[in-house]
A and B are shown apart, each in its own frame.
Chain A
Amino acid sequence: MNFSGDLPLRADNAPLSIDDNTAPVVLQLNGISKSFGSNHVLRDVSLKVHQGETVCLLGPSGCGKSTLLRCINWLEVPDGGTVHVSNQRMGVRDGSAHKMTDAELARSRARIGMVFQHFALWPHLSVLHNVMEAPIHVLKRPRDEVRAEAESLLNRVGLADKINTFPSRLSGGQKQRVGIARALAMKPDVLLFDEPTSALDPELVGEVLGVMRGLAEEGATMVIVTHEMEFARQVASRIVFMDAGEVIETGHPERFFAAPQTQRAQQFLARFRAPHEARPG
């Protein structure tokens, strides 16, 4: 089912090297740094995401992946560096050094979809209205049109029979699928996933990853922080491996998982490998 016709499909022969990608750049991070007190969480992180790419951010807990994601939509304000989403700078008015006002920042954020680890649905709204809320009250789109789209999005994530239910009555997997539908309803330029399956019971992880896999296949532009290695290997168009607030290695998933170039990536992957798999070296 076509849920949002404006997402271009990724070419079958997606380029292996990042530099070959000729699709427009949707998200560009330049020299992002962030510290909490004396703790340097991010050091000079740069990243470019092209349209239709699925970038998986991997790395040990506390390496700054989630903070990086939160810096993209200015939920955390980076200490240094710039973020551009669809060539518009986040947080700072174009062509000046002035900080954006709250309202300007809100308009920029509306172009970025975010899916949260703990769902962060609005408990006072039904499933349908969780999805409709921001398109109606932020984007000011007509209610009938938004409602039809919301219903088809919820149908797509397999929740057509739950539209009038409240979040408190849903399982974790269902909540997260509502979270994804809510993000898609904004027709964002880029979708950010902050460990979308970490808070789920193991048997519910599959249903959420299934939805995300579908999005990747349809060419949505996504940045995913995850610990699901198998999912990353199969779905990512590029892996970005971080450790201690820095990007250590970036590359095509097949190459990254088969032959990581850096020692830190090798160590990280060794901890995830199933015992029956041959260890490198």
Chain B
Amino acid sequence: MSNWWSGAIALILYNTAYMAELLRGAWRELPTSMIESGRAYGFSGFTLLRRIILPPVFTSAMPMIGNQVVQIVKDSAFLTIIAVTELTHQMNGIQATYFIPFAAFITAIALYWAICLVIESMTGLLSKFAEERRA
């Protein structure tokens, strides 16, 4: 297995646990009356889950999901340890070759920041969409 894939699998496993916990929390906070009205109107099983339960779970968990995605970006830096060619790893290579640690890592910071800003503005838009759709 390539480094890239083992890194990806590690990140996926690790963050899936966090995501699951986030969604579980949002599900628990959901008013039971809403799910009950779904049942009363003849929803059951997968349709109940897909049409009635999951949409409000996602809308209420939206800001936390955004935070967690930012966390994934930051966690990706750890993959340099197993020599995955991600941002930190590349910058480390550059500074070792040209002896410019300061410039290289400042650039890395700027790029991480830019990625996070993009994620943040996207979750901001989604949150606006979700806001009026909350109970």
Contact = CB atoms under 8 A, between A and B. Distances in A.
Interface in B32-61: 33-34, 36-45, 47, 51-52, 55-56, 59
Interface residues of B, number: 23
A102 B38 CA distance: 13
Contacts of B135: 123, 167-168
Contact of B37 (A106, A110, A122, A166): A122
A168 B134 contact: yes
A102 B45 contact: yes
Interface in A124-160: 124-125, 133-134, 137-139
A120 B133 contact: no
Contacts of A106: 39, 42-45
A57 interface: no
A70 to B, nearest CB: 9
A14 interface: no
Contact of B133 (A116, A124, A137): A124
Given A122-B37, A124-B59, 8 more contacts: A106-B43, A114-B41, A116-B33, A116-B40, A137-B51, A138-B41, A168-B135, A186-B42
Interface residues of A, number: 30
A278 interface: no
Contacts of B133: 123-125, 166, 168
Contacts of A116: 33, 36-37, 40
A107 B42 contact: yes
A137 B36 contact: no
Interface in A176-234: 182, 186
B29 interface: no
Nearest to B34: A120
A43 interface: no
Given A137-B51, A168-B135, A110 B34 contact: no
15 contacts: A73-B40, A75-B36, A102-B44, A109-B40, A109-B42, A112-B40, A116-B37, A118-B31, A120-B31, A120-B34, A123-B56, A124-B55, A124-B59, A134-B41, A168-B133
